[in-house]
Amino acid sequence: MEFISYRQSVYLLSMILPVTGHFLLLPTIIILSGHEAWVAILLALPIGLLFGFTLSRLHTIYPTYSFDKMLIKTFGKITGNLLMIILMGYFFYLLLITFYGLVDFIKLFFLPETPLWVLAIPFYLVVFYAIKVGVESITRISEALLPIIIFTGSAVGIATLHEKDYELLFPIFENGIAPMYGGILLTIALFGEMSMILMIHLKK
């Protein structure tokens, strides 16, 4: 059984944002909530923090339990198994759309003449290899990649400052809070990916 530290789990979860957040959810949140998308994200943050705290408590209460046993112990056998099936479907769907979104992004911006399957097969092989070597190896890779992602993201943000007009972010609540519901729900869905940490055994 593999274990990762709490610090490593932070690195692992932080890798969710660049792929799912930027490539898939952020454009959709902007479409749904318009210039108030940033407000929708801020409104969803407390729910995300509460969800993260709940996951942390579950790990503290059931440190040696597997994910399915944790659900059964918390919600009962029938509800726990039902939640397990729903979450398995959610993660499988997330796997498909994330993988397709990433490969499609690479094809669209970097290799437009390359067939999609030529890009997909190497990525699949890398994913299968990562699964084989285990979560600890994946976590170590995320530790190396995250600083690079933060640096490049910050560099791009600074380099494009002159092209940004922050006045376009206002006014807020121009049409009430209703237009933000879609953006809030999508942001909460992003935090939902944190539930994968329940599938990993943590050590201090």
User: What confidence tens digit (pLDDT) does each residue in 95-143 have?
Assistant: 777 777 778 778 887 888 888 888 888 888 888 888 788 777 888 888 8
Segment 149-164 shows an average pLDDT of 85
Per the omega criterion (within 30 degrees of 0), is the bond before 147 cis? no
Percent of the chain with pLDDT over 70: 92
pLDDT recorded at residue 204: 63
d(CA 124, CA 76): 36
Does 123 map to a domain? yes
Does 40 map to a domain? no
Does 141 map to a domain? yes
> Is residue 203 classed as helix, strand or coil in its secondary structure?
strand
**CB atoms near residue 25 (< 10 Å):** 20
pLDDT recorded at residue 2: 63
Does 107 map to a domain? no
Residue 1 has pLDDT above 60, yes or no: no
Domain of residue 147, residue span = 115-161
4 membership: H or E segment, kind and range: strand 3-5
Q: What total number of domains does the chain contain?
A: 1
Residue 172 has pLDDT above 80, yes or no: yes
Mean pLDDT computed over every residue of the chain: 80
Pair 86, 69: CB distance under 8 Å: no
Which CA distances in Å does 20 have to 33, 66, 192, 193? Answer: 18, 25, 11, 9
Residue 19 has pLDDT above 80, yes or no: no
d(CA 29, CA 25): 6
d(CA 45, CA 51): 10
d(CA 76, CA 192): 21
Residue-level length of the chain? 204
Backbone angles phi, psi at 5, to 5 degrees: -80, 165
Tell me which of 11 and 78 has the higher pLDDT: 78
Confidence of residue 152 (pLDDT cuts 50, 70, 90): confident
Which CA distances in Å does 59 have to 64, 70, 152, 173? Answer: 8, 9, 33, 38
Number of helices followed by number of strands (H, E) in the chain: 9, 2
